[in-house]
Structure 1
Amino acid sequence: MLVDSHCHLDFPDFAPELDAVVARARAAGVGCMLTISTRVRQFDRYRAIAEAYPDVFFTVGTHPHQAAEEPDVTEAEIVALAAHPRCVGIGEAGLDYHYGYSPKDVSERVFRTHIGAARTTGLPLVIHAREADDDMIAILEDETGKGAFKAVLHCFSSGAELARVGVRLGLYVSFSGILTFKKSEEIRAIAAEVPMDRLLVETDAPFLAPLPHRGKRNEPAFVARTNAVLADVKGVSAEAMAQATTENFFRLFSKAERPAQAASAA
């Protein structure tokens, strides 16, 4: 089976046919999907989706684009919401300097709040990092020094040094459809360096559809294509990569209940 470790099933792109989107994912061998929070205050939306589909879990957190909308969300609030049985992670949270939707100091404060929630709950933090490598490295090293926490660098599109630091600090690295793009040689080279036991695959749907679907709406079924390209990069079969990334997902997101068929296969 495959796992889409990062998608946004609450986005309006999927509203007219969410049942069909989930069904297509299942038909493509995707046995588990993680729908990701972008706003803590929209918690009920993610919860409703995860409660509607037994193979969908969710996270709670504030995306860096929305950090200025939710600057006052507290660690205690995140921790309390994360107690829901189908909430298996914190985030996504982090730094994004590409658009600058939130001031850097606000983004950093909100990000550190989420790190605290991840440390307190023991749930993994889903980290968003875009064009912020130096500050991200500094924060991760500083916060890890205060106490370990689990995390994944999602939709990796940063430089090699951030990936190396992340692996050294115990983080996982997740690759999206960007890995399949013709001009992503650098990202594929970084993926080749990441140890097999730290790799995840994702869609970030509805964004970043992999080739040959680029330019179209992405959906969880397409994670199979990213998995196949990652397998080529690592020199293993698609089946071996699917097994590795699935095992890695359930090791990192240990609160997520493994589907019965995957548990029996393991």
Structure 2
Amino acid sequence: MSTHLLIDTHSHFDADEFTQDRAEAFARAQAVGVSMQIVPAVSFRGWETLRTVCNTYQGLYPAYGLHPMYLAEHQASHLTALTEWLHHESAIAVGECGLDYYVKGLDPAQQNYFFTAQLQIAVDQQLPVIIHARRAVETVIQQIRRFPRCRGVVHSFAGSEQQARQLLDLGFYLSFGGPITYPTAHKLRKLVQVLPLEGILLETDAPDQPLASHRGERNEPAYLLEVLTCIAELRQQSPAEIARITTRNTFELFGLTQ
């Protein structure tokens, strides 16, 4: 049991992997102090389910967007639908959006079309963005620079220290989860040690990116406490201090209140 208020800033709690035991997984998260989750969408067809899940469980906050890995599903009309959806639905952010240059077969030009359109929507709606940037951090930075009023988070950050500091200078946050728990992730673990805590958020990316201690298993929001513990050990700071500052960061970015 944690006495810290923790927020999982990136959980796909609406995913099918939680269909069988979502209530139990929610209770496990609550029991260790993970009292809030930010749940980003991945495609148009999932928005209604996401809304239902977030309305069912207290402390879940939806973000709506079009994820680059689901590019084959996206249509230009979904961007219009996103703007309309955000007008009448309560949303904490636009996302998950971004670029993925790792997965084969995802056209970069099409990805950039949907990504930049969502950056504009976020600016228009005065919402932060939740960005996926896999093997594409440099291009993500270039696109963000085109929207100076845009703020948000690059989730599961895996770029260089130089790129991290550029993003922080642009007013963005970086979130870290399961990958930092692997002892072989030297670059990532060093990054978590040297970056200012004022720019860091905590996440699980559940059900994906399981922690080293849960390798091969489904990830879940309750494991955020282990992410916190790992960061505290790497930085040689108390878990309470890490929890306090990262929670404050999350409140600040997403306009949350306790």
Tell me the equivalent position of 1:165. 166
Question: Which amino acid letter does the alignment assign opposite residue 168 of structure 1?
Answer: D
Once the two structures are TM-superposed, the CA of residue 182 in structure 1 deviates from its matched residue by 1.3
Once the two structures are TM-superposed, the CA of residue 245 in structure 1 deviates from its matched residue by 1.1
Tell me the equivalent position of 1:152. 153
Aligned-residue sequence identity (percent) comes to: 29
- Distance in 2 of aligned mates of 1:83 and 1:190: 38
Once the two structures are TM-superposed, the CA of residue 142 in structure 1 deviates from its matched residue by 2.6
Tell me the equivalent position of 1:189. 190
Q: Which TM-score applies when normalising by structure 2?
A: 0.93
Instruction: Name which of structure 1's ranges 156-165 and 194-203 shifts more when overlaid on structure 2.
Output: 156-165
- Distance in 2 of aligned mates of 1:21 and 1:138: 38
Tell me the equivalent position of 1:108. 112
* Equivalent pair of 1:75/1:116 in contact (CA under 8 Å): no
- Distance in 1 of aligned mates of 2:151 and 2:235: 24
Q: Which TM-score applies when normalising by structure 1?
A: 0.90
- Distance in 1 of aligned mates of 2:60 and 2:22: 12
Gapped runs of 5+ residues in structure 2? Answer: none
SS at match of 1:200: strand
- C-alpha root-mean-square deviation of aligned residues, in Å? 1.5
* Equivalent pair of 1:59/1:82 in contact (CA under 8 Å): no
- Distance in 1 of aligned mates of 2:235 and 2:173: 16
* Equivalent pair of 1:47/1:86 in contact (CA under 8 Å): no
- Distance in 2 of aligned mates of 1:86 and 1:224: 28
For residue 30 of structure 1, the aligned residue among 29, 34, 54 is 34
* Equivalent pair of 1:58/1:89 in contact (CA under 8 Å): yes
Once the two structures are TM-superposed, the CA of residue 172 in structure 1 deviates from its matched residue by 0.3
Tell me the equivalent position of 1:244. 245
Instruction: Name which of structure 1's ranges 198-207 and 225-234 shifts more when overlaid on structure 2.
Output: 225-234
Instruction: Name which of structure 1's ranges 20-29 and 132-141 shifts more when overlaid on structure 2.
Output: 132-141
SS at match of 2:218: coil
SS at match of 2:213: coil
Give the length in aligned residue pairs: 254
Question: Which amino acid letter does the alignment assign opposite residue 216 of structure 2?
Answer: G
* Equivalent pair of 1:74/1:113 in contact (CA under 8 Å): no
Q: Deviations over 1:21-76 (max 9, x none)?
A: 00000001101011110012321011000110111111100110112321414554
For residue 66 of structure 1, the aligned residue among 65, 70, 74 is 70
Once the two structures are TM-superposed, the CA of residue 84 in structure 1 deviates from its matched residue by 4.8
Once the two structures are TM-superposed, the CA of residue 91 in structure 1 deviates from its matched residue by 0.6
